[in-house]
Chain A
Amino acid sequence: MATDTAKFSIKDLDLWYGESQALKKITFDIQPNTITALIGPSGCGKSTFLRQLNRMNDLIDSVKVQGSVLYDGLDILNDCDVIELRQKVGMVFQKPNPFPMSIYDNVAYGPRLHGLATGKKRHRALDEIVERSLVHAALFDEVKDRMHKSALGLSGGQQQRLCIARVLAVEPDVLLMDEPTSALDPISTAKIESLLDDLKKQYTIVIVTHNMQQAGRVSDATGFFLTGEMVEFGKTDDIFFNPKDSRTESYISGRFG
């Protein structure tokens, strides 16, 4: 894995919440157009790590960070516009969190922020962005007749796909997903998983999951976190069938976590 082609290149990343260290010397690369799964027991730091890739940890006052994270060669911990970064590196959360607005306004939220629909025909342009994003998130057919109804009337699975559409609408490059299916039923989960496979042609995806089968099914590479450390990182098949570290093997085989 050569560093110069990597989408993200993380080196010696340390992170503290106040006095307690949540991430210790994390070092690995994330390749473009792949799905990288991060697994590990609760509180191991995988979500914290994910939130560092789009600097959501900035919202917490007590967080201190050290080390480097390069995104397309750009040092995002130091010289980078966090607004621009978050537009490029989108995030889908554990619990679907649509805005209490219409389906249309939810998807149009980002494009309106960033002025993506401009010119004389900007209403048409915005319509197109919204439709394209919903199609892309495999939701359009289910909502095309109720675009201006409240997004909160959708089912949990539909809401989560709406949240994915909302991220796609700002034309990101990377999708970060923090246990995106943990609040969903198996059918909705299956829909989102098959969507992920589709999305990776265009996007780089990093997904945090508690669900080992999910990591095995969808990801190309897997990283195993334990108490703030990246114990092992490699191709998903290698991690699952041929782990090098005994702790990875214990976790995969369900002996703890």
Chain B
Amino acid sequence: MNSKKAPKTANQRHQRELKRDQHHAVIHWLVTGFVLLVLLYIIGYTFAAGFKNLSLNFFISSDFDRGIAPQLFNTFYILILSMIPMLLIGISAAVYIVEYAKQGTMLKILRFATETLSSVPSIIIGLLGFLLFVTNFGQGPRWEFSRLAGALTLAILNLPWMMRTAEDALRAVPASLREASYALGATKLQTIFRTVLPAAIPGLMTGALIVSGRVIGETAALIYTSGVAGSSNGWFNFNLIHVPGDTLAVHIYTLFADNPTPAAQQGQTATAVVLIALVLGVNLLGRFFERRLTKRFSGE
């Protein structure tokens, strides 16, 4: 009873609010700390298990469970192939949404569509990619399991994310800059290309890098499109539509699913280390550009 009683003076009330403030700070700190701990655990566990299995040979060998040279190559090849259409379509769509679309039904439909697309499981998008690119719905000339098929599937999968980050980057450009451009007699198109997009480049870079992290780590969408083949022969070629190729992430899956020998397990943990380091590096680079962006508008 006593402890629940309302404090009498303003000072007591003030003290109570201060206490409450401190308690909340501790709770939030603990929750944040927990999230950080999970991340650190994943990174720490992976490195502890896999780092000792890394060697120079591991990076240059194309042997199925002894090296990841083909997978490294495929990962970057597919990354570049998927980023090109994604950037073009994603940025164009964001320009439409930010600069042209009026608040209304069209924008609502677009938002609903992108949000739905972004929550479709990646394995489903993978099946779509299989139908669309690999089998071509059984009509006409068909591709094989191929890196372009995988890249385009990843482009579909990540397009909503690219659009969202590009939209954020364009919205971060102050309206006063657009006004300045219009007031000098620029057309809308000139304003977009000469003011908005150049000013948004650091933000667009950040978005592209964050999406790159997702592309590098994606697995399910690739199994039915670029395939699981650990191609040991002739992997170093740029053939788009007839040569399959597994990425680092798919490689981890294949090593586990096909052949869980001790050697494969070692390769698996080492691959995981490389993959995590890559994703981490890409995200850190993204943060770096984000800082550049803030500096740009505060005048450094």
Contact = CB atoms under 8 A, between A and B. Distances in A.
B180 interface: yes
Interface of B: 102, 174, 176-177, 179-187, 190, 194-195, 198-199, 296-300
* Top 3 closest pairs, chain A to chain B, by CB: A152-B299, A87-B185, A97-B176
B177 A113 contact: no
Interface string A161-176: 0010011001000000
Main SS of the interface on chain A? helix
5 contacts: A61-B102, A100-B296, A113-B185, A114-B185, A153-B300
Contacts of A85: 185
Nearest to A106: B180
B195 A91 contact: no
- Residue of B180, B183, B187 contacting most chain A CB atoms (<10 Å): B183
Contact of A86 (B174, B185, B198): B185
B10 to A, nearest CB: 36
B171 to A, nearest CB: 15
B196 to A, nearest CB: 10
A85 to B, nearest CB: 8
B179 A113 contact: no
A84 B185 contact: yes
B182 A153 contact: no
Contact of B186 (A84, A113, A152): A113
Nearest to B176: A97
Given A93-B179, A97-B176, A97-B177, A150 B185 contact: no
A83 B184 CA distance: 8
Given A93-B176, A99-B177, A153-B299, A170 B184 contact: yes
A140 interface: no
Interface in A69-116: 83-87, 90-91, 93, 95, 97-101, 109-110, 112-114
A190 interface: no
A41 B299 CA distance: 32
Contact of B183 (A86, A98, A99, A114): A86
Contacts of B185: 83-87, 110, 113-114, 170
A177 to B, nearest CB: 11
Most buried by B among A84, A95, A97, A167: A97
B190 A113 contact: yes
Given A59-B179, A84-B185, A100 B297 contact: yes
A172 to B, nearest CB: 9
**Most B CB within 10 A of own CB, among A114, A152, A153:** A152
A135 interface: no
Contacts of A150: 299-300
Nearest to A153: B299
A166 B184 contact: yes
A59 B182 contact: yes
Contacts of A59: 179, 182
A125 interface: no
A86 B181 contact: no
Contacts of B183: 54, 56, 86, 90-91, 93, 167
Contacts of A87: 184-185
Nearest to A84: B185
Nearest to A56: B183
Given A100-B199, A152-B299, A109 B184 contact: yes
B250 to A, nearest CB: 41
A99 B199 CA distance: 8
B180 A97 contact: yes
A99 B180 contact: yes
A170 B182 CA distance: 13
A175 to B, nearest CB: 11
Given A61-B102, A83-B187, A97-B177, A56 B182 contact: yes
B179 to A, nearest CB: 7
Contacts of A100: 177, 198-199, 296-297
B176 A86 contact: no
Contact of B198 (A54, A101, A166): A101
A35 B26 CA distance: 60
Given A83-B187, A97-B174, A153-B299, A113 B194 contact: yes
A116 to B, nearest CB: 11
Which of A95, A100, A153 is most buried by chain B, counting CB atoms within 10 A of its CB? Answer: A100
Contacts of A84: 185
Nearest to A58: B182
A112 B187 CA distance: 13
Given A150-B299, A152-B299, A163 B180 contact: yes
Contacts of A109: 181, 184, 194
A54 B297 CA distance: 27
Contacts of B179: 56, 59, 93, 97
B300 A152 contact: yes
A101 B299 CA distance: 10
A167 B297 contact: no
